[in-house]
Amino acid sequence: MNTVWPALPLPQILRDVLAQRSGRIGMAIVCLHLAVALAAPVITPQDSAYQDASAMLQSPSFSHWFGTDRLGRDVFSRTLLGGREAMLIATAATFIAMAWGSALGILVALIGGRTDAIVMRFIDAMMSIPWILLVMLFVAALGSSSAALVPVLGFSYGLSAVYLARAAALDFVARDFVVAAQIRGHARWAIAVTELLPNVRDSLAVQGAMQWSWILLAVSSLSFLGMGVAPPTPDWGQMIADARGIMQRAPWALICPMLALSSLVIGVNLAVDALARVTGVERTRRVLGA
Amino acid sequence: MATVLLERIGLALITMIIIVVVVFFALELMPGDACSVNLGRGASDSMLAACQKRLGLDQPAVWRFAAWAGDFLTGDLGISMQRDRPIAEVVGWRLRNTLILAGLTAAIGIPLALGLGVLAGLNPDGPLDMTISGIAIFAMTVPEFISGTLMILLFSVILGWAAGVVTIGYKAPALDLLKASVLPAATLIFILAAHILRMVRASVIEVMQSDFVQMARLKGVPHRRIILHHVLPNALLPAISIIGLTMAWLLGGVVIVESVFNFPGLGRLAVDAVADQDLPLVQAIALLFGFIYVLTNLGADLLALTLNPRLRTRRK
């Protein structure tokens, strides 16, 4: 196994990330969100689906910390629970996207030539359709259950992973140690796994963490449009869509899920910024096809 | 030059052909077809068969693909299932509305972003740059539907400057639509400008540190002249291709922002079409968006080629 610059061991990376200010703040926010999401079913003070007709649109109080929404549901409980489904979908979809995307990207970088050109032209064409329409195309055919969203988002977001993994791997395919492995007669998949993967690991980790936040935003956006997480499961995007009509009378029902979603995404961004700096990876922003 | 031009145009054509193939066959691979999706589970076999016969779904896939792609090229986009009207008719007005919105966004957003990016890049880490970049990073991080809703909260509910939701119909005159576009366009500009200005800023910083700018400075060329004649042309050229790529985001963002503001454009039509399970309509809109993206990028590419001679030689 060869790596060009010594890949840092994981505990070392974590320590370096935490040594940076943005890393500390970002990790703190993300860990808080994860802890709340895990503990939410136990710590929510009220049933998130319980509609109290006598307590609609109440402003924040001791019995309802974040007030109530237009159906008299407790906004605090719903905000605590509202990220769980989206985070679960994002995690599963990120694994699928990174798995097929990086495998294909590394392989075409290694094979090169006509195969590379044809595959990338297809990926290019699919990335020309804005992600949301690509996803909507599949949602229209498959319906919008969480079970359908995972493969659909995993496929759509894998496209940009192909790009990144290919670009990262291309830096190494012409190096001596890869050529040496080819001369030794190693199989392509073996070269990809033992020679290239360790070298692109850091790029993939940074990309994977960004993908997670993009997919989380995608799920929330779809929920906002009514194609994502379906009621009665509470979800931030869905809560924001639901509270739009009452923003004048009950702004808390709108602001709370907004703060929750935005803080999580900002936290991930800060943590990834630190990770990118520590590992020396140029980080991609949410521009291309994302 | 001519070969490079032909190569770019050829690649764009191939990409468009692949988009047509992908959009058609992606749905072929799915369980069910336009009829079973639209009619739902309760449909009887005879209803399904009648619908499939009407849409020609009883024919083999390759045959249908040829017919569908051929119709598309001649401007016949098929028939919308839910609305039972030709898709070209349903799409036409909304395409105009979306183009008005996107045009307004680009016309204000791009010059604004170039200006702010240059200002931020000339004094990196100064107070002006910190403000501009801080707001830009916020705009890039927060999702479109939250920025849009915040715009409504601020400008409509709190300040009362503009109506929060568009209420005019999709056939309204262009001038009325332009007025209705103010808040949706402001939301799109907010995000679009953030992406472009960050890249212009980086590009300006890079050029300012280049040898030829150092050289000009040492020769005693006045600062103004250095900025106008040396830095700006070199820093703004790369921005042209970046603007083309940002169009991909703009087209996707339009879908969400139109829904937030109830704007009667193509993006909201796509959302409605998914809700109505109108597969042919969703397909047609996805195709249109893909084509618009490829053509804008081709335009940006060709513009960059004419303005930047260094790109014209083939690199291998």
Mean pLDDT, chain A, integer? 82
> What gap in Å lies between CA A146 and CA A168, rounded to an integer?
32
Mean pLDDT computed over A87-104: 93
Is B23 in the A-facing interface, judged by CB distances under 8 Å? yes
* pLDDT recorded at residue A43: 74
Contacts of A198 (CB under 8 A, 6+ apart): A1, A2, A3, A7
Question: CA distances (Å), A70 to each of A267, B106, B212, B312, in order?
Answer: 30, 38, 63, 61
Residues B226-235 pLDDT 10s: 888 888 888 8
Q: What ipTM does the predicted assembly reach?
A: 0.82
3-state secondary structure B116-157: HHHHHHHCCCCHHHHHHHHHHHHHHHCCHHHHHHHHHHHHHH
Q: Do B143 and A247 touch (CB under 8 A)?
A: no
B197 contacts in chain A (CB < 8 Å): none
Cα–Cα distances in angstroms (integers) from residue B195 to residues A6, A85, B49, B104, B204, in the given order: 34, 29, 50, 17, 15
Six token digits for residue B283: 């397909």
* CB pair distance less than 8 Å for A225 and B259: yes
For residues A260 and A251, which has the higher predicted lDDT (pLDDT)?
Answer: A260
Residue B17, C-beta contacts closer than 8 angstroms, at least 6 positions apart = none
- Taking CA atoms, A192 is separated from A111, A116, A170, A287, B44, in Å, by 10, 15, 12, 28, 52
Tell me if chain B has a CB within 8 Å of the CB of A167. Answer: no
pLDDT confidence of residue B227 = 84
Cβ contact A287–B195 (<8 Å): yes
The pLDDT of residue B50 is 76
For residue A85, name the pLDDT band (cuts at 50, 70, 90): confident
Interchain CB contact of A162 with B (< 8 Å) = no
> CA-CA distances (angstroms) from residue B186 to A146, B1, B112?
33, 39, 12
What distance in Å separates the CA atoms of residue B299 and residue B295, rounded to the nearest whole number?
Answer: 6
Q: How far apart are CA A111 and CA A196, in angstroms?
A: 13
User: Closest approach of chain A CAs to the CA of B224, in angstroms?
Assistant: 32
Give the Cα separation of B294 and B248 in Å (integer): 9
Closest chain B residue to the Cα of A137, Cα to Cα: B282
- Kindly state whether B153 is in contact with chain A, defined as any CB-CB distance less than 8 angstroms: yes
pLDDT per residue of chain B (316 residues) written in tens, 0 to 9: 678 888 888 888 888 888 888 888 877 776 667 777 777 666 677 777 777 777 777 777 777 777 777 777 776 767 776 666 777 778 888 888 888 898 899 889 989 998 998 888 888 888 888 888 888 888 888 888 998 888 888 888 788 787 777 777 777 777 777 777 888 999 999 988 888 888 888 888 888 888 888 888 888 888 888 888 888 888 887 777 777 777 767 877 888 999 888 888 888 898 888 888 788 888 888 888 888 888 888 888 888 888 777 766 655 4
* Model pLDDT, residue B314: 55
Residue A66 clears pLDDT 90, i.e. is over it: no
Report pLDDT for A13: 82
Distance from the Cα of residue A175 to its chain's centroid = 32
Q: Which residue in chain A has the smallest CA separation from B297? A: A128
Which of A124, A131, A240 has the CB atom closest to B149's CB atom?
A240
Looking at residue B82, its pLDDT comes to: 64
Q: Is the dihedral of CA A49, A55, A59, A64 positive or negative?
A: negative
Encoding tokens for residue B137? 């990073």
Chain A hits for B16, CB-CB cut-off 8 Å, are 125
Pairs across A and B, CB distance < 8 A: 141
User: Would you list the domain boundaries of chain B?
Assistant: 2-78, 89-312
How far apart, in whole angstroms, are the C-alpha atoms of residue B35 and residue B19?
23
CATH numeric code, B89-312? 1.10.3720.10
Site of tokens 């993206």: B293
Residue with tokens 């992600």: A131
- Two tokens, residue A254: 């709108």
In chain A, the residue whose alpha carbon lies closest to the alpha carbon of B258 is: A225
Helix (H, G, I), strand (E, B) or coil at B86: strand
Q: What is the pTM of this model?
A: 0.85
Is A132 in Cβ contact with B143 (below 8 Å)?
no
Mapped onto helix, strand or coil, the DSSP state of residue B77 is coil
CA distance A93 to A26: 22
Alpha helical stretches, state H, chain A = 10-19, 21-43, 75-81, 84-111, 113-128, 131-142, 146-173, 176-183, 188-191, 197-224, 236-243, 251-279
Partner residues linked to B79 by β-bridges = B86
3-state secondary structure of A186: coil
Mutate to test the interface with B, among A132, A256, A265, A283 (most CBs of B within 10 A): A132
pLDDT at position A92 over 90 = yes
Contacts of A254 in chain B (CB under 8 A): 149, 153
Q: Which of the four pLDDT bands, split at 50, 70 and 90, describes residue A286?
A: very low
Instruction: Judge: A221–B195 Cβ closer than 8 Å, yes or no.
Output: no
Q: What is the pLDDT of residues A168-219, one digit of tens each?
A: 888 888 888 888 888 888 888 888 888 888 888 888 888 898 899 989 999 9
Average pLDDT over residues A37-48: 77
> In this structure, what token pair is assigned to residue B30?
């799915």
Find residues 133-152 of chain B whose CB sits inside 8 Å of chain A: 140-146, 149-150, 152
Q: How far apart are CA A256 and CA A250, in angstroms?
A: 11
Residues 192-211 of A with CB under 8 A from B: none
pLDDT at residue A7, as a whole number: 63
List all residues of chain A from 72 to 131 with a beta carbon under 8 Å from chain B. Answer: 121-122, 124-131
Chain B neighbors of A227, CB-CB under 8 A: 271, 274-275
pLDDT at A5: 54
The minimum CA-CA distance between B120 and chain A, rounded to whole Å, is 19
Nearest residue to A160 via CA among A189, A131, A197: A131
Residue A93's pLDDT band (cuts 50, 70, 90): very high
pLDDT, tens digit (0-9, with 9 covering 90-100), for A114-155: 988 889 888 888 888 888 888 888 888 777 777 888 988 999
CB–CB of A222/A90 below 8 Å? no
pLDDT for A3: 54
Q: Which B residues, 236 through 265, put their C-beta within 8 Å of a C-beta on chain A? A: 245-246, 248-249, 251-252, 255-256, 259
Share of chain A above pLDDT 90, in %: 16
Check: CB of residue A280 under 8 Å from CB of residue A35: no
| Structural contact between residues B260 and B165, judged by C-beta atoms closer than 8 angstroms | no
Buried b (16+ CB within 10 A) or exposed e, B204-224: bbebbeeeebeebeeeeeeee
Cβ contact A141–B279 (<8 Å): yes
